[in-house]
Structure 1
Amino acid sequence: MDALYIEVKGIVQGVGFRPFVYTLALKNKLFGWVNNDDKGVNIHLEGNSPNIKNFLDELKKNPPPLAKIDSISVKNIKIKNYNSFEIIKSETTSNKSTIISPDMAICQECIDDIKNKNNFRYNYALTNCTNCGPRYTIIKTVPYDRANTSMANFEMCDDCKKEYENPTNRRYHAQPVSCQKCGPQITLFDKQNQILATELEAIKEIANKINSGEIVAIKGMGGFHLICDATNDKTLKELRKRKNRPSKPFAVMFKDIEQLKEFAEISIKEQEIILSKEKPITLVKSKKNLLSFEVAPHIDRVGCFVPYTPLHIILFNYLDNPIVATSANLSDEPIIRSKDELLKKLGNVVDFVLDFDREIINACDDSVVQVVNDELMVLRDARGYAPTSLKLDKKIDKKILALGANQKSTIALAFEDNLILSPHIGDLNSLTSMEYFQRTIKTFESFYDFRPELIVCDKHPNYESVKWALNQDIKVVQIQHHYAHVLSTMAEYKLDEEVLAFSFDGTGYGDDGNIWGGEVFLANKRSYKRVNHFKYFRLLGGEKSIKEPKRVALSLLFDTFSLEEILELKIPTVEAFLENEIKLMHTIWQKGLNAPLTSSLGRVFDAIASFSNIVQTQSYEGETGLQIEMAYNNEIKESYSYELIDGIISLEKAIKQIVKDNNKELICSKFINMLVEIVLDISKSYNLPIILTGGVFQNRTLLELITKKLEENKRKYYYSKRVPLNDGGISIGQIYSQS
């Protein structure tokens, strides 16, 4: 007879871990108890040695589907001669470190429940169990008990309580467990906040509104969606007009995978991800002319997902077509959590609102992913994946808070050997966004009784997060933006060695005060040296040039040709300006008036979009990259010329060649091929592992071409997959530099 005390840490609360342990102990004829505390799950185990070994083997190999075990510690203790195995009350310690579970899509068993006419949860739109449903979005603090969630005020009926208290039931201690009788209720409102219908009638009625071309808002797990028929041109044009969103793509929710396949081409891997327990928005190739053109103007990819809540599944029983389901928010603001806020801010956008009275404590957007090299790449880390936890190789002696970047903001925390990344916050360009940013910090501080001893942030003096950091009475360390990109990839793979890193993106504050974005570093965990960068060029009109690719292209022309030569060129960029505008821009360029210097490869993509007449003015970030990728033709093997001179990557020769080509496919293909050659060329000078990071590498075509060539050359390389390689991963990199 042996006795062990076992501590399990990781995502082990709210995922059915204690009933799993209970059932496993009974199966192996073991005695003792299991409980939760602020650090994880504790087990006192007594029994025969072979049975204990079987218990531990199964615990490690087959934990509950939503669990993520980071560590299991086992120590021998004195036998207390228990004669049963029990689940005992949660404990509270002074040191919280249990990892909060992300929200999860509805599981198949709960889908079966809501479709079964003989089940008391038939058609109940807020069904869940320990294997699915809300977690992060309803929790105030740990441990994850009902009293600490937005379900605290809903008293369970006898039927729900019986399941909740039965350790062999999959709803045992599922904190949001409820039913039609005792749980949150669905209500349909008009834009004047008047009640029109409740429960199933409300769902049927909102489906009728969608089918008849109305624009509505429906509450999801982490916030509201704006929803309408994805095949209705007129409605979608109206949504774009009301939302002031000229061409940024909308995500589309399909009834099921069969319907999705009618509208999009998906690989086996893409299907696996779309149907996974996370059910993220997945970028896939769309089939022409089936969805409305207005869903994703001028691009051949569409963000697809399938229903991930019981409400969505019931809704589709009454819908004719797929639906656009885009985050309900004002531009540059976070997703809206409450009906009253939605009516106040988007009352001019929506006609009806479907709400339920379970409060969303922590807003959480939908995750966005794509498949690259037949593997998952997370672009927006949110529902299903976040909060994301990584393990550090060793414990750290201080509590660190990292504040990320200004765009695609996230925060990260490090304590002991835990590194935790928050869900996507958004761009910090408004007062509401900053309030959400600060609220997220407070939320995570509350989860872990966390008080930072060190804050890490960007170097940009005008970032709101930087201003906030410098206003706290806490030590601050500032990390260069592109180096933080490199570190975020190193953190994902726990690298602590010298690397050659290509950090390519749209914008970031450089050490010399210029705007960087096309950088090559020799880097390790503690330091970096800039060994190459794209030659500086001017952003004519500053931030205005980000919206107008023609300005970036014109600046590159000024660097390459005389004003007289430019005025003679018969190319789309020149034709996009009046002659006197070009002359004015030339004066701005010469004098450097509101024309900061940049090395940004993201801006070079903009210029290529102008040269090839894809767009002269863009309406959303990344539009040029998406369209250049769409125009790429893998039959075209040629590339443009470039020069590497004293660490400077000069594109002057390329610009001279580009103005002679007047074919969109040719320009885009030769440009992408040139970038592949630049990476390979520079890599040859260093016998080091290679890192590819920054938003430019979200371009699937570019990344797959480069990685294929690196493999052919037997070069070791890394790029972020689980942590976003765009600015959403910056906070992880900032922390890694101090761990």
Structure 2
Amino acid sequence: MSAHIRVRVSVTGVVQGVGFRPTVARIAAAHRLSGFVRNDAGSVQCEFEGPRPQVDAAIHALRTDPPPLARIDTFDVTARPLGGDPGFRIVDSATSGDENARTLVPPDIATCPDCRRELFDPADRRHGHPFITCTNCGPRYTVITDLPYDRPATTMAGFALCARCAAEYTDPADRRYHAQTIACHDCGPQLTWDGPGSGGAPLESATAALRAAMIVAIKGVGGYHLACRADDDEAVAALRRRKNRPAKPFAVMVADVDAARRICVVDTAAEQALTSSAAPIVLRPARPGGVSVEVAPGLGDLGVMLAYTPVHHLLFAGLDVPALVMTSANQGGSPIVFRDENLDWIDGLADAVLGHDRPIHVPCEDSVVGIADDGAEIPLRRSRGYAPLPVALDVPAPTVLATGGDLKTTFALTDERGRVHLSSHLGDMADPRTQDCFTAAVDHLMFLTATVPVAVAHDMHPRYATTGWAQRHGGPREAVQHHHAHAMSLLAEHRLLGRPMLAITYDGTGFGTDGTIWGGELLAITGATEFTRVGHVAPFWLPGGEGAVRQPARIALDLLRRAGIDPADDLPPVVTLGPTGMHVLTQQLARGVGCVPTTSMGRLFDAVASLLGVCQQVTYEGQAAVELEHLARRGRPCAALRMDVTAGVIDPAPVIAGLVEGLRAGAAREDLARTFHDAVSDATVRAAAAAAADAGITTVGLTGGVFANRLLLAGISAGVRARGLTVLTHRVVPCNDGGVALGQAAVAALRLAAAGERSGPCVSVSPAG
């Protein structure tokens, strides 16, 4: 007979809110062991006692088959004296110990298959329950107010369990054993309806309103959506008018994968992304006639997501529509509405409101991903389902708060374990309400991670709202150049900090070290915190600064001038500007008055979109470039146009001249658009290969918002690999400004570590946000 032993297993990572303790208890029961399991602030602690073979088997089972939503960072086993427990117990969470050691906060998880099955089973007591959850699914990050993760530390604290739910909660054999968000019709949250037919059943009233082409605000996991029929031109057009969103594409939601296939192309990789526990919006090629052309005007892709909450599933069960537009409930640039008391922010947008009485503690927008040619997910917005999971820096460093960029704002918070906790997407920091939400989200994440930074990292741009926020909050600050932050975010997510890389950083706007606007940069990253600018797009002008971003014909006119092209009225930018505009711009360019110099690849794409007549008025960030890419996907190269590359400077003038020649010869716009893409890829590969060889670097990284363009990403990646170089692309954080906070945090933390910085906290934190 084997001797009895007792061991303690301490596990850190995403181990609370994912059914870890029930799994431990079931493993103990299966191996007939005694002991206990409990949460503390930083880990799950369990002790197994019994014969050595059974204890070893239990340890192996826990290590190799944890709950599906868990993520184990550390797994430590130590010997303990025998305790003689009568059985195995889940004990109350510990409040003692190191309060600075916090477990990772889990993200919100889409409704699992078991809960969906029960939701539509008339024999199940939770049949039709709009808030059905279990240990494997449901809200987490958006409802957690404190750690350890227990029901009193969530926004479900006000919903006392009924006798039947309490029995499930305490039954080790039940799927809802210690599931903190469980409830039922008798004891859970309730839906509400404010709209036509008030007083009736909320779900039935909502489905009737949607069928009638009304716009309905729907409270979800991380905030309110505005929803309407995606197959109704008038309903979608009305939503555009009310949101003042004339062209930016809307996301759509469908009931299931089969419904997704009816409106867009869904391959194996896309299906895996759609059905994952994160349930992001996935960009896919649209099928003709699937939804209204008003959903994504001028584009060939749809942003599609599956129903991911019980309310969504129940709505689709009562609707006979192919899809619903499901877009954030906000005005352009403002944060998503998530508090019931802030519904006045969307006055005039919705005809009715489907709400509920479960509070949302922090907002969290939907995540967006694309699918690369190799089937990998390309993160474009990292939010629900992913935030606030951290990225490992793999280097011990001081704690830093990084404020990110002004658009697609996210922030990052490092801890002393070398992890970077990443916030959800917060919106446009130009809106004061976004700044308030930003401050509250910072306080909340600092509280949950028990982390107080010693410095704040921010962008070098002096007029960024995030820079102003850092200045107002006092204490030590670290300014980080925008494109350096992009490059370091790529190295950080690949856990390659300190390795040399030639970074191709293409985006719209970034404040350069010389005070000009950069955006088409080749940077040699040769140390932990150093970079050298080794190449860039040849400078051109933005006549009128931000006005040129909105009206790219102005930029096109300057590029025509630099290419030696007579801007005759057969060219689309000239027609757009008209005689008066042409007179003003010609004088402005001759004198250089109000002309902002830039090297931006994003602005170059905008100018070519204007030159080809694709987009003359930009109403959302990246519109011209996105529409140009979608046009190019339908084309074939019609000429071998090449940009000049001299000493790392990429001059587009020869290609601009070639495009004009093609236009005047009657070439198809889609073929010219494709030719331009190929020319950019070719020039970039030549410049990068030469710069990498000069610096002795063998790894090339592609980062910056322009690399959301899949044609360019594929073309440059293939070309660089053909030169025998290794290519890094984003797979964890977005290539756009949604990922820049990670790079800021990495640069600042490494700088402070090198300087031996160990000063006191510089940002205050309020309890539980």
Please report the TM-score for the alignment, with normalisation by the length of structure 2: 0.92
Q: Offset at 1:189?
A: 0.4
The 5-angstrom pairing of residues 31-430 of structure 1 reads 31-92=34-95, 93=97, 94-190=99-195, 196-197=198-199, 201-321=201-321, 322-342=323-343, 344-373=344-373, 374-396=375-397, 398-417=398-417, 418-430=419-431
Q: Offset at 1:276?
A: 1.3
The answer to whether the 8 A contact 1:639-1:671 is kept is: no
Q: Offset at 1:639?
A: 4.0
Equivalence for 1:546 = 549
Equivalence for 1:695 = 705
The 5-angstrom pairing of residues 464-479 of structure 1 reads 464-479=465-480
Distance change (3 Å), C-alpha of 1:634 and 1:586? closer
Q: Deviations over 1:31-90 (max 9, x none)?
A: 221110110111122233332332222222221111111111222233333342211111
SS of the equivalent of 1:596 reads strand
Q: Deviations over 1:258-298 (max 9, x none)?
A: 12211111111101111111111100000112311101111
Equivalence for 2:451 = 450
Q: Offset at 1:97?
A: 2.0
1:520 to 519, 522, 530: 522
Unpaired segments ≥5 residues, structure 1: none
2:544 is the counterpart of 1:534 = no
Equivalence for 2:608 = 608
- Alpha-carbon separation, structure 2, partners of 1:498 and 1:263: 44
- Alpha-carbon separation, structure 1, partners of 2:168 and 2:452: 38
1:25 to 20, 28, 51: 28
Of the structure 1 ranges 429-438 and 409-418, higher mean CA displacement relative to structure 2 is found in 409-418
Q: Offset at 1:582?
A: 1.5
Q: Deviations over 1:123-152 (max 9, x none)?
A: 010111110000011111211111111111
- Alpha-carbon separation, structure 1, partners of 2:234 and 2:405: 38
Equivalence for 1:506 = 508
Q: Offset at 1:569?
A: 5.5
- Alpha-carbon separation, structure 2, partners of 1:134 and 1:19: 18
SS of the equivalent of 1:129 reads coil
The answer to whether the 8 A contact 1:14-1:173 is kept is: no
SS of the equivalent of 1:269 reads helix
Of the structure 1 ranges 587-596 and 10-19, higher mean CA displacement relative to structure 2 is found in 587-596
CA RMSD for the aligned pairs? 1.6
2:725 is the counterpart of 1:715 = yes
Q: Deviations over 1:551-580 (max 9, x none)?
A: 111121222237xx22x3521112212233
Equivalence for 2:564 = 561
Distance change (3 Å), C-alpha of 1:99 and 1:613? same
Of the structure 1 ranges 326-335 and 615-624, higher mean CA displacement relative to structure 2 is found in 615-624
Read off the aligned partner of 2:699 and give its amino acid letter.
P
- Alpha-carbon separation, structure 1, partners of 2:165 and 2:28: 25
- Alpha-carbon separation, structure 2, partners of 1:122 and 1:490: 48
Equivalence for 2:766 = none
SS of the equivalent of 2:414 reads strand
Q: Deviations over 1:568-598 (max 9, x none)?
A: 3521112212233222112222333332111
SS of the equivalent of 2:595 reads coil
Q: Deviations over 1:396-419 (max 9, x none)?
A: 3x2211111111111111112221
- Alpha-carbon separation, structure 2, partners of 1:360 and 1:718: 37
Equivalence for 1:733 = 743
The answer to whether the 8 A contact 2:244-2:331 is kept is: no
The answer to whether the 8 A contact 1:638-1:673 is kept is: no
Read off the aligned partner of 1:539 and give its amino acid letter.
L
Read off the aligned partner of 1:505 and give its amino acid letter.
D
Distance change (3 Å), C-alpha of 1:584 and 1:271? same
Q: Offset at 1:622?
A: 1.9
- Alpha-carbon separation, structure 1, partners of 2:686 and 2:57: 54
Q: Offset at 1:634?
A: 6.3
Q: Offset at 1:637?
A: 7.0
Of the structure 1 ranges 303-312 and 633-642, higher mean CA displacement relative to structure 2 is found in 633-642
SS of the equivalent of 2:142 reads helix
SS of the equivalent of 1:577 reads helix
Equivalence for 2:714 = 704
Distance change (3 Å), C-alpha of 1:186 and 1:135? same
The answer to whether the 8 A contact 1:502-1:692 is kept is: yes
- Alpha-carbon separation, structure 1, partners of 2:684 and 2:249: 30
- Alpha-carbon separation, structure 1, partners of 2:274 and 2:235: 26
- Alpha-carbon separation, structure 1, partners of 2:505 and 2:535: 10
The answer to whether the 8 A contact 1:558-1:586 is kept is: no
The answer to whether the 8 A contact 1:96-1:447 is kept is: no
The answer to whether the 8 A contact 1:608-1:667 is kept is: no
The answer to whether the 8 A contact 1:96-1:142 is kept is: no
Unpaired segments ≥5 residues, structure 2: 751-769
The answer to whether the 8 A contact 1:335-1:365 is kept is: yes
- Alpha-carbon separation, structure 2, partners of 1:66 and 1:638: 51
Of the structure 1 ranges 628-637 and 179-188, higher mean CA displacement relative to structure 2 is found in 628-637
- Alpha-carbon separation, structure 1, partners of 2:407 and 2:655: 30
The answer to whether the 8 A contact 2:635-2:673 is kept is: no
- Alpha-carbon separation, structure 1, partners of 2:503 and 2:293: 39
- Alpha-carbon separation, structure 2, partners of 1:637 and 1:63: 55
Q: Offset at 1:433?
A: 0.7
Give the percent of matched residue pairs that are identical in Structure 1 and Structure 2.
34
SS of the equivalent of 1:172 reads coil
Aligned residues: 729
Equivalence for 1:595 = 595
Distance change (3 Å), C-alpha of 1:647 and 1:696? same
Please report the TM-score for the alignment, with normalisation by the length of structure 1: 0.96
Q: Offset at 1:368?
A: 0.6
Equivalence for 2:439 = 438
Read off the aligned partner of 1:215 and give its amino acid letter.
I
Read off the aligned partner of 2:412 and give its amino acid letter.
A
Of the structure 1 ranges 636-645 and 36-45, higher mean CA displacement relative to structure 2 is found in 636-645
Q: Offset at 1:241?
A: 1.1
Equivalence for 1:675 = 680
SS of the equivalent of 1:226 reads strand
Q: Offset at 1:611?
A: 1.1
Q: Deviations over 1:589-618 (max 9, x none)?
A: 233333211111001110111111111112
- Alpha-carbon separation, structure 1, partners of 2:478 and 2:569: 49
The 5-angstrom pairing of residues 491-502 of structure 1 reads 491-495=492-496, 496-502=498-504
The answer to whether the 8 A contact 2:214-2:235 is kept is: yes
The answer to whether the 8 A contact 2:645-2:686 is kept is: no
SS of the equivalent of 1:99 reads coil
Q: Offset at 1:525?
A: 2.5
